[in-house]
Amino acid sequence: MTHLQTENHHPKVFGRRKARPLKEQTQELYDNLLPSIRFNPDSFNWDTQNKLVLEIGFGGGEHLAFQALQNPNTHFIGAEPFINGIASLLKLIEEYNINNISIWDDDVHLLLDKAPKKEVFDRAYLLFADPWPKKRHHNRRFIQKDNIKRIHELLKPGGHWYIATDHVTYREWILEHLNASDALFTQERSDIYARPPEAQWPKTRYEEKGAREGRHSAYMTYKKIN
């Protein structure tokens, strides 16, 4: 039984979990590699001396794999329920022999519920999260008051939360919500529309899709205050 089938799953994942069947080789990685790197919040040493980073909704995992290779002494936890995305990351992990990523293959809210109520993460990423453009779906957006408070609680003093979007109304929503909680975070980039250097912040699949379709992205860096 996988995480995805456990009975404590609650319906916060509104997107797809699977788009197409996995190829045999990928299924093999899914069956054999994933169990060995699946994130277990109950047995994880949250007091590790290593830096700790969370990526929410890593999609195909290209950003996560890049960061993990660049920062071998940092441990990365990636949350993503989409099976084909997880499979893409598993391929990268195998190909580049990456050993500092753990995968939470489920709704990130379940992970946020299980993580300790203390400052454990140095950085968090939320890149091109689903924008849920229809008004009646706005409550599905990850950026909500409670999640902002929870990420703030989990970040170490001075920790950073990197957020990007190519969606105009979600961008406004993000800026508004993070500004509304201006006692919690401060936005550090002077020009949020300037693309950060790829050597620090590589392009993701959704960013490239947005660019192909003519959308401009915004890149925010929020620093925890207090």
Q: Which positions are annotated as active-site residues?
A: 130
For 28, other C-beta atoms within 10 Å of its C-beta total 13
**Contacting residue, 26, 59, 160, 170, with ligand SAM by CB under 6 A:** 59
Q: Of 78-86, 143-151, 167-175, 217-225, which segment contacts ligand SAM by CB under 6 A? A: 78-86
Question: Would you give the binding string for ligand SAM spanning residues 186-215, x where CB under 6 A is met?
Answer: ------------------xxxx--------
Q: Of 102-110, 165-173, 182-190, 211-219, which segment contacts ligand SAM by CB under 6 A? A: 102-110
CA distance 65 to 125: 13
For 194, other C-beta atoms within 10 Å of its C-beta total 10
Alpha helices by DSSP H, the chain: 24-37, 62-70, 83-95, 108-114, 145-154, 168-180, 205-212
Q: Which is nearer to ligand SAM, 107 or 122 (CB)?
A: 107
Q: Is the dihedral of CA 103, 105, 111, 116 positive or negative?
A: negative
Taking alpha carbons only, the member of 11, 178, 23, 187 closest to residue 90 is: 23
Span 103-122, contacts to ligand SAM by CB under 6 A: 107-109
Please, are residues 218 and 129 in contact by the beta-carbon 8 Å criterion?
A: no
User: Is residue 150 near ligand SAM by the rule CB under 6 A?
Assistant: no
Minimum Å distance from CB 145 to ligand SAM?
Answer: 16
For binding to ligand SAM (CB under 6 A), which residues are involved?
12-13, 15, 56-59, 79-82, 85, 107-109, 127-130, 204-207
